[in-house]
Amino acid sequence: MAIGSLCALVACTGMQPQRSFTGTAEDRTAEALGAVNELRASKGLPALAAAQPTRAAALDQARRMAANGQMKHLMGLGDSFGARMRAANVPLPAAENIAAGQQATDAAVKAWIASPRHLENMLGPSYTALGVAVARDPASGNRPYWAMVLSR
């Protein structure tokens, strides 16, 4: 199982055409919120709330990864984390955690918690909003691709 992390500023990656999404995507924010807020409370940090922009951005990223069969923050030359967040009306700064292969929300959250870089994103003291999504696409063997977006 793989995981990946990204903060607000990143570089572009190689050129690849994006495929159309033909699978299923689900908002899993409600399932993840309890564990994330319990973690934050244990560190003296305020709780996060589900927010439509972060939820939409997480759904979009999960779909993009599933359609392309790749766990990547950026899907080709010209792709931009900042532009994606602005398009979804997500306030910056923001962070994104990604994962692939976990069959359940709690497994994806546990994988992020076990990774220092992902944990750092989840414990960002300025973040107030959370979105978590999973997507599967027949083009990628229905492997689950996860995205978490945190923002103000």
Q: In the predicted model, is pLDDT for residue 35 greater than 80?
A: yes
Give residue-wise pLDDT tens across range 112-152. Answer: 999 999 999 999 999 999 999 999 999 888 999 999 999 99
**Cα separations (Å) of 144 from 21, 88, 111?**
13, 22, 14
pLDDT band at 19 (very low <50, low <70, confident <90, very high): low
Give residue-wise pLDDT tens across range 55-86. Answer: 999 999 999 999 999 888 877 777 789 999 99
> Helices (DSSP H) in the chain: which residue ranges?
29-42, 52-68, 81-87, 105-113, 116-122
Q: What is the pTM of this model?
A: 0.85
Return the pLDDT at 78. 74
**Cα separations (Å) of 99 from 3, 45, 65, 87, 121?**
4, 24, 10, 22, 14
